Amino acid sequence: MFLLLFFQFINAKRLSGFFFNGASMFKALFVSAALAMAAAAPAAAEKISFRITDSAGAPVSGAVVMSAAKGKPVTGTYTMKQSNLTFDPYILVVPVGAEVSFPNLDRVRHHVYSFSKGNRFELKLYGKEDHRSVTFDNPGIVAIGCNIHDEMVGYIRVVESAAFGKTGADGQLTLDMSPGRVTVWHPDAMGREITMDVPSAPNAPVAVTLKMKPKGHAH
């Protein structure tokens, strides 16, 4: 940052010299200050890649990466199916205010609910081809279950982040984001989520190791 400001100061001096033919230092400082204010705006977005592995080096899929920088809620379509007595996807990340559809593709009825603070909901018994949806208004972790099938577990991470996503089966993810602080979370990781600072233009994917609980979910 300081380096950037220094360069802008030099540029401003040159610029003002060019326009004002030996303009005073005062003018140069004035232009410099204006440029410094522009520099205080968030850095431009870059493509930054992440690679998330467990302690044994195996890729971790479904790990959520979210920027600390906040963004406007994004509208989009979000779905968590019930299929073969599982929630699909097992992990979903959505912006605050998103509406998530819960279609039931099974022949049996499900009764989907969450007791998670700020995002409690209950979708009473509904059958095949039936859709219900829920709007998530508060950031946080929403643990989802089914009243009929105890083994059904899913998670929705509701975020306020300007940039967010989750890793694929290869444990990788690329975000369009401004360099800065990010948080990495997975419901089956031990301990708290990991927060780290990502520099501009890292020369390799940002590597993060998550210590996973011994009994990881199959998905």
Q: Give the binding site for Cu ion (CB under 5 A).
A: 110, 146, 148-149
Residue closer to Cu ion (CB basis): 146 or 175:
146
Work out how close the CB of 148 gets to Cu ion at its nearest, in angstroms, rounded to a whole number. Answer: 4
Residue closer to Cu ion (CB basis): 149 or 217:
149
How crowded is the C-beta side of 8, counted as CA atoms within 13 Å? 17
**Gyration radius of the chain over CA positions:** 23
Measured at CB, which residue is nearest to Cu ion? 146
Residue closer to Cu ion (CB basis): 81 or 149:
149
- For β-strands 164-166 and 172-177, DSSP reports them as unpaired
Residue closer to Cu ion (CB basis): 15 or 152:
152
Work out how close the CB of 147 gets to Cu ion at its nearest, in angstroms, rounded to a whole number. Answer: 7
CA distances from 20 to 14, 15, 31, 69, 94 (A): 10, 8, 12, 39, 52
Amino acid at 75: T
Work out how close the CB of 146 gets to Cu ion at its nearest, in angstroms, rounded to a whole number. Answer: 3
Work out how close the CB of 150 gets to Cu ion at its nearest, in angstroms, rounded to a whole number. Answer: 9
How crowded is the C-beta side of 93, counted as CA atoms within 13 Å? 22
**Strand order across the beta sheet in which 64-67 lies:** 164-166, 64-67, 180-185, 194-198
Which residue carries 């410099």 as its tokens? 32
Work out how close the CB of 115 gets to Cu ion at its nearest, in angstroms, rounded to a whole number. Answer: 16
Q: How far apart are CA 10 and CA 32, in angstroms?
A: 8
Residue closer to Cu ion (CB basis): 127 or 168:
127
